[in-house]
Amino acid sequence: MKLEKQFDEIIQLIYSARKKAILSVNRELIELYWNIGNYISDKAKHSEWGKSVVNNLSDYIYSKFPDIKGFLSQNLWRMKQFYETYRKNEKLSALLRELSWTYNLIIFSKATTGEEREFYIKLAIRERYSSRELERQIDSGIFERVMLSDKNLSAVMREIHPQSVDAFKDNYILDFLALPKSQSEKDLRKRIVIHLKEFILEFGKDFSFMGEEFRVSVGSKDFYVDLLFYHRDLQCLVAIDLKITDFKPDYLGKMEFYLEALDRDVKKEHEKPSVGIILCKNKDSQIVEYALSRTVSPAMIAKYETELIDKKTLENKLNEFFLMAENEDYK
């Protein structure tokens, strides 16, 4: 057994070296594409090269390296676009080398502003999404949703867990649940458990599932938390109470009770105070603000959507938001 443990340490060294080698190869590949894009951009800028020349270049590269398939003329033009997109942004040009070419293509072809690209580059690096997962996040307008969100967190939550501002969203897209028009809270809970992988991807990969209808006993009675998670970064339990209606102030009292029970009887000594998310079909921001203003528990109110919000609609809302902010600055 002792030898096996020592052997495992060698295995970890091999894994670590392989990971570094892959990252190194990827950085070199992105650097190559950057330099090719730079070269083509410079030639095109001075009207030396056009579409036919780039087509000839693609054929010439293929004649020299017949086994390499990444230099078709459309890819060469993408390298030019890639370089021109990031050449004036030193911070992003360094970060993008942490991502593969596939991820970079997705981001700079789908995102339209420097702020949006920076957001998705950092998100992809942090969450380690697959390319499909990254595309879903972009298509669901997570950048616009985060920018437009009015985080309904209690003051206690902001104080105890300052990172919670970035850990949680105001609005969650649960289109993957394929819920019927008429559903119960039980239906919602069951569908989430069935689609747990997608649910965690939407909430963030730092969430670890601990249980459905998690039982806490107080006095002679049992109570059940709809969903219980552990958040690795915040180092605390996260209780989620599901509601298929608009937020009501009395929901908060129930959550406060759950959090007290979890902290007294479930939380481990090294863990931080538990937090609660009341996930509703909708919410009135003023009612939420009143309800959270006096609470002594680290809690937040969020809402969920059962269908993808049209990304163009989100972009228009974000533009309106920026325009309003500019007008306020001029007053």
Q: Is the pLDDT of residue 320 over 90?
A: no
Alpha carbon distance 185, 243 (integer Å) = 6
**Tell me: the pLDDT tens digits for 190-210?**
999 999 999 998 898 889 999
Chain centroid offset of residue 174 CA: 14
Name the amino acid, one letter, at 65.
F
**Fold for the domain defined by 152-310:** Trna Endonuclease; Chain: A, domain 1 (3.40.1350)
Lowest mean pLDDT among 146-160, 268-282, 292-306: 146-160
Q: Which long-range contacts (CB under 8 A, 24 or more apart) does 82-86 make?
A: 82/33, 82/34, 82/37, 82/108, 83/34, 83/37, 83/38, 83/40, 83/41, 84/37, 84/41, 85/117, 86/117
- Quickly state the pLDDT bin for 179 (edges 50, 70, 90): confident
Q: How far is CA 131 from the centre of its chain?
A: 13
φ, ψ at 305 (rounded to 5°): -115, 140
**What confidence score (pLDDT) does residue 208 get?**
92
Residue 328 banded pLDDT, cuts 50, 70, 90: very low
Q: Where are the chain's structural domains?
A: 2-144, 152-310
Q: Please report where in the chains the tokens 């902001």 appear, as a residue.
A: 158
Taking 70 as the threshold, does the pLDDT of residue 316 lie above it?
no
Q: Does 85 score more than 50 pLDDT?
A: yes
